[in-house]
Structure 1
Amino acid sequence: MKTIVVITMFLLSYSVLSAQNSSSADKDRDALNKVLHTFMNSLKTKDSTSLYNLFYEGHVTWIGVYKEKTQAKRSQNSPNILDYKTSDYKTWFRTTTQGATKEEKFYNVNIDTDGSIASVTFDFSFWAGGRKGLWGKESWGLIKINNEWKITSVIFSMEQENISPEPDRNQ
């Protein structure tokens, strides 16, 4: 009888812990999805305060690499042109939000987290004035500080739509 009670207690405590871990993982995924939504909305509405709040206060890696077809076209006039560009989120935001309304759309989002760090990868398309200009793959590294997710790195590939149209990805 004691054995049955011990096994039952163990299974109940395991079930409770699994439910708590699942609930915590769901909360993290919801919070990370909110970071994505806030990023997209901040860009569209040109809200620098909301966007800047998403980032870690220290150094944040920001680098984009041109995909092969776009780089080949770019290098026709300038053979030594770099196949990447670096920036920081504040400079990127200030230059990007000038002129027509900009929008970045994310799809095929994949979130991987242990509750303290996270990686978020997705396909993206970048739009200006209602027209797609760029598309590619993007990856963010995030850390949780004081129970808030902060972006620590942004790396992405870029293909210009007018050089190599984005394949249909069932958006």
Structure 2
Amino acid sequence: MKQILTFLVIALSFNLNAQTSQESAVKETIIKFFEAFHKQDSIALKSMVTDDIILQSISKNNEGKTVLNKSEFNRFVTSIASIPKERNFQEKLTDFSIQVDGDMANAWTPYEFWIDNKFSHCGVNSFQLIRINSEWKIIYLVDTRRRDHCVPKKN
């Protein structure tokens, strides 16, 4: 009985370490994505996603109705790369909640968006990722964008 218990503890410990390792790898992928985003590095951004990535955003229109907008990733990358270099923008991730099952992962990342050191809006990113050849790639990204109910941290 003691041997079985020891085996179960070791097996559970191994499984938790593997899960933690994969969660760290997913987090690192997202951090690198935002590093490339802030550097306006279109080549790096494209290398972190699959060719058929889906990019969507949930917001309110002028009438206050919820709308879902879909964007082409290449158009998104072009718009980021075209921001003037003197313009300061930063998406600050305030937390990570990551779940992994085999070769699929989900990451929930609340954020604040700042332009020229002034708070612009907040929301949440929801990433879906796939592990291909031991590398995590983003396959789907949806975010929310709002100005109300935000509690920005001091810049």
Q: TM-score, normalised by structure 1?
A: 0.77
Taking the TM superposition and a 5 Å limit, the aligned residue runs for 1:94-113 are: 94-97=78-81, 98-99=83-84, 100-113=87-100
Q: State the partner residue of 2:5.
A: 11
- Aligned residue for 2:48, secondary structure, equals coil
Pick one of 37, 55, 66 that aligns with 2:59: 66
Q: State the partner residue of 1:83.
A: 67
Structure 1 residues 48-67: Cα deviation after superposition (integer angstroms, max 9, x where no partner)? 2222121123x211111113
- For 1:27 and 1:148, how far apart are their aligned partners in 2? 13
Pick one of 55, 65, 76 that aligns with 2:49: 55
Taking the TM superposition and a 5 Å limit, the aligned residue runs for 1:1-171 are: 7-57=1-51, 59-67=52-60, 71=61, 74-75=62-63, 83-97=67-81, 98-99=83-84, 100-159=87-146, 161=147, 164=148, 166-167=150-151
- For 1:66 and 1:108, how far apart are their aligned partners in 2? 21
Q: Which runs of 5+ in 1 are unaligned?
A: 1-6
Q: How many residues align?
A: 152
Q: Which runs of 5+ in 2 are unaligned?
A: none
Change (3 A) 1:83 1:51: same
1:28–1:115 Cα contact (<8 Å) kept: no
1:54–1:151 Cα contact (<8 Å) kept: yes
Runs of 4+ more than 6 Å apart: none
* Residue range with higher mean Cα deviation, 135-144 or 12-21: 12-21
- Aligned residue for 1:118, secondary structure, equals strand
Q: TM-score, normalised by structure 2?
A: 0.84
- For 1:83 and 1:17, how far apart are their aligned partners in 2? 46
The answer to which structure has the higher strand fraction is 2
* Residue range with higher mean Cα deviation, 40-49 or 95-104: 95-104
- For 1:136 and 1:30, how far apart are their aligned partners in 2? 22
- How far apart are residue 144 of structure 1 and its match? 1.0
Amino acid at match of 2:28: K
- For 1:24 and 1:170, how far apart are their aligned partners in 2? 36
